[in-house]
Chains A and B, each alone.
Chain A
Amino acid sequence: EVQLVQSGAEVKKPGESLKISCKGSGYSFTSYWIGWVRQMPGKGLEWMGIIYPGDSDTRYSPSFQGQVTISADKSISTAYLQWSSLKASDTAMYYCARAPRGDLDYWGQGTLVTVSS
C-alpha cells in the first residue's frame, strides 16, 4: 500500500527555522517525483515545487523560489520542506504528494504549521 506520512504539527515564532518531512512507503521512492502543496487557512491549493528523489532534481514555483528549500534523503525514503526564517504568512497546511506524471495521486495527511509571536 502506497503511503506518505508527514511529520506532526508545528508551532513556531517568526524568524525561526523549520524542516518538515514526508516519508514514503509501499513503492519505489526513488522512481516518482514528490510535490509540495500549500493551503493557507480557508484558501485554495498552491503548488510549491517538486523533487525527484532519485537524483534530487528540484523545481520550484516562482512564488516559492528562494522562500523554501525542498530536499530528499533517498536512503530513508523521506522528502523535506524547510524554511530558514519563518513569517506569520507561512501559517498554513502543507501537503506532500506523489507525482507520477505531474498529477498527484497519493497525498500525505498534511502538516499544519503555525507561526505566531
Chain B
Amino acid sequence: EIVLTQSPGTLSLSPGERATLSCRASQSVSSSYLAWYQQKPGQAPRLLIYGASSRATGIPDRFSGSGSGTDFTLTISRLEPEDFAVYYCQQYGSSTFTFGPGTKVDIK
C-alpha cells in the first residue's frame, strides 16, 4: 500500500498570500495518478486537481498541481477567504487507493 505524507500539517497564511502544500508518496505513483481535494467544515470534499496537474471542472486557475513520481505539490497562487480549509491528496495509481492525512490552511 502506498502511504502518503502531507506537509506541513497546518499552514497559517493571510489572504492574498501564496500557499504551497506538499504530498510525498512512499513509492512512485504510476502515471501521476494523484488528486487533490478541498474540504470545509460540514461539507463533503471537493475535487480540485486530478492526474497531478489537471484542474477539475469549475476550479479557479489560482489552484495548480505539479509533480511526479513520489513528490507532488498543490499551489494556491493568491489565497481567497474561501480557500481556508483542509486539503487532502489521494493516489489512485495502485490497486489500493489511499489518502494523505491532510493539510489545514488557516488564517494567520
Contact = CB atoms under 8 A, between A and B. Distances in A.
Give the most central of B45, B95, B97: most A CB within 10 Å: B97
B38 to A, nearest CB: 11
Contact of A45 (B45, B57, B93): B45
Contacts, number: 66
A47 B86 CA distance: 17
Contact of A109 (B44, B47, B51, B56): B44
Interface residues of A, number: 22
B67 interface: no
Contact of A47 (B33, B50, B51, B97): B97
Contacts of A108: 44
A108 B43 CA distance: 10
Contacts of A55: none
B99 A47 contact: yes
Given A37-B45, A104-B37, A104-B47, 17 more contacts: A44-B99, A45-B37, A45-B45, A45-B99, A45-B102, A47-B99, A61-B97, A97-B44, A97-B45, A101-B51, A101-B92, A102-B92, A102-B97, A103-B35, A105-B47, A105-B57, A109-B44
A35 B45 contact: no
A103 B92 contact: yes
Contacts of B101: 44
A95 B86 CA distance: 17
Contacts of A37: 45, 99
A66 B101 CA distance: 24
B99 A103 contact: no
Contact of B95 (A35, A59, A97): A59
